[in-house]
């Protein structure tokens, strides 16, 4: 119940941000909301299914470039259509990649996903005639709910309609994920994570459950990725690089993978911490590396873990 209250409180606060906060911080909320969608999905895979993907940036890339391709090469400007196509493409790619990956766990799963991620990254980088190479592609301003905002100054568009649109997407994504993890499916996933042998003996198809979690997480990542493009108006291959995948896992760990709202907290903390560190010194990686090391060594439960400690079982070798 407290979790629901906290979520509702956070949602109310998010609604008020454009009205009360400076434009700068409202703009910072945009990548936060996009990454929060990505992380909600990734946490289903990492926190609930126990699989560490080191290539999830692949699906962010799929989503972000879907937006760029559609607005550049076709007449499609509607963000709803872009999100749907991004989700469908992300899910399709994940269905294929996942079918190959879910036979493996732990480090081999991580390595396979990393390799697939790098395949996509090198494709984006090297086939520059289609993808723009390392300069990336432009994302034209999408229409929202059929309304064309092209006359509006960019900042007004971003802190106004686009902000609330992102927030709505995040809210829907959160509610859907809440239902997923509370469903029998979510419970089965945790069984598969904690004791795959027993799950198999109980008649749960372990590989099938992992595959489903992988596809769902990829759909989330693609939707989040598609939301990342319009604020900057540009997408480039670094979105799909392996260090980006590492940062995603970092964000999850920062928030705490053992709780539902950990990904939201992690994305928020990461984006705003990065901003405040970068405003003081350029070497944000040094500070973040130190933070990550400290979390891994001292607080594997992440920020949320500081409130309720995960049991030793969840942290130690699975």
Partner 1 sequence: MVTTNVVGILMSGVFHAAVLFLVAAGLQVVFGVQKIFNLACGSFYALGAYAGVSAVTAFIGAGGPPVLFIVPLVAAGLAVGLVGLVVERGLLRYVYERDETFQLLLTFAIVLMMEDLIRMTWGTAPRSTAGLYLAYGQARLLGAAVPVYNLIVIAASVAIAIGIGWLLARTTFGRIIRAAADNREMAEGLGVDMRRVRARVFTLGTALGTLGGALVIPATAAMSEMGVELIVEAFAVVVIGGLGSMRGAFVGALVVGVLQAVAISLYPEMEMLLIYLIVIAVLLLRPQGFFGRAAA
Instruction: Return the exposure string of 99-135: e unless at least 16 CB atoms fall within 10 Å of the residue's CB, then b.
Output: eebbebbeeebbebbbebbbebbeebbeeeeebbeee
When asked if residue 115 is in the footprint of partner 1 (CB under 8 A), the reply is: yes
Q: Which of 106, 179, 208, 308 binds partner 1 (CB under 8 A)?
A: 106
Closest residue by Cα to residue 83 from 98, 97, 70: 70
Closest to partner 1 by CB, 163 vs 257, is 257
Report the 10 Å Cβ neighbour count for 74: 9
Q: Which of 44, 82, 112, 167 binds partner 1 (CB under 8 A)?
A: 112
What tokens were used for 55? 């290539």
Q: Which 274-293 positions form the footprint of partner 1 (CB under 8 A)? A: 282-286, 288-290, 292-293
Closest residue by Cα to residue 267 from 243, 253, 290, 251: 251
Q: Which of 123, 149, 178, 185 binds partner 1 (CB under 8 A)?
A: 123
When asked if residue 249 is in the footprint of partner 1 (CB under 8 A), the reply is: yes
Q: Which of 72, 155, 183, 243 binds partner 1 (CB under 8 A)?
A: 243
Report the 10 Å Cβ neighbour count for 19: 8
In the complex, least distance from residue 308 CB atom to partner 1, rounded to whole angstroms: 19
Instruction: Return the exposure string of 141-150: e unless at least 16 CB atoms fall within 10 Å of the residue's CB, then b.
Output: bbbbeeeebe
When asked if residue 189 is in the footprint of partner 1 (CB under 8 A), the reply is: no
C-alpha span between 267 and 250 (Å, rounded): 9
Q: Which 23-62 positions form the footprint of partner 1 (CB under 8 A)? A: 46, 52, 54
When asked if residue 208 is in the footprint of partner 1 (CB under 8 A), the reply is: no
**CA 277, 16, 247, 302 torsion-angle sign:** positive
Binding residues with partner 1: total (CB under 8 A): 44
When asked if residue 179 is in the footprint of partner 1 (CB under 8 A), the reply is: no
Which residues of the shown chain bind partner 1 in the complex (CB under 8 A)? 46, 52, 54, 100, 104, 106-108, 110-112, 114-116, 118-119, 122-123, 126-127, 241-243, 246, 249-250, 253, 282-286, 288-290, 292-293, 296-297, 300, 315-318
């Amino acid at each position: 119940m407290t979790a629901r209250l906290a979520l509702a409180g956070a949602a109310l606060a998010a609604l008020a941000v454009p009205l009360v906060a400076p434009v700068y911080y409202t703009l910072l909320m945009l990548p936060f909301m996009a990454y929060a969608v990505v992380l909600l999905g990734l946490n289903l895979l990492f926190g609930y299914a126990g699989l560490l993907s080191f290539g999830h940036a692949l699906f962010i890339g799929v989503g972000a470039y879907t937006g760029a391709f559609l607005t550049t090469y076709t007449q499609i400007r509607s963000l709803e259509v872009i999100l749907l196509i991004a989700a469908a493409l992300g899910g399709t790619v994940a269905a294929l990649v996942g079918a190959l990956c879910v036979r493996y766990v732990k480090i081999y799963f991580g390595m396979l996903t990393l390799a697939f991620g790098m395949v996509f990254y090198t494709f984006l980088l090297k086939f520059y005639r289609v993808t723009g190479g390392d300069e990336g592609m432009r994302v034209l301003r999408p229409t929202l709910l059929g309304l064309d905002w092209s006359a509006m100054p960019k900042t007004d568009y971003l802190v106004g309609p686009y902000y609330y649109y992102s927030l709505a997407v995040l809210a829907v994504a959160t509610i859907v994920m809440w239902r997923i993890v509370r469903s029998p499916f979510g419970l089965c996933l945790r069984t598969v994570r904690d004791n795959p042998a027993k799950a198999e003996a109980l008649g749960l198809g372990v590989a099938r459950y992992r595959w489903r979690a992988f596809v769902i997480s990829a759909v989330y990542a693609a939707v989040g990725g598609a939301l990342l493009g319009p604020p900057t108006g540009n997408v480039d291959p670094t979105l799909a690089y392996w260090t980006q995948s590492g940062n995603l896992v970092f964000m999850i760990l920062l928030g705490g993978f053992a709780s539902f709202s950990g990904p939201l907290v992690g994305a928020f903390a990461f984006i705003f911490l990065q901003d405040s560190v970068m405003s003081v010194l350029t070497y944000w990686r040094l500070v973040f590396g130190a933070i990550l090391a400290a979390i891994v060594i001292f607080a594997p439960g992440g920020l949320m873990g500081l409130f309720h400690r995960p049991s030793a079982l969840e942290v130690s070798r699975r």
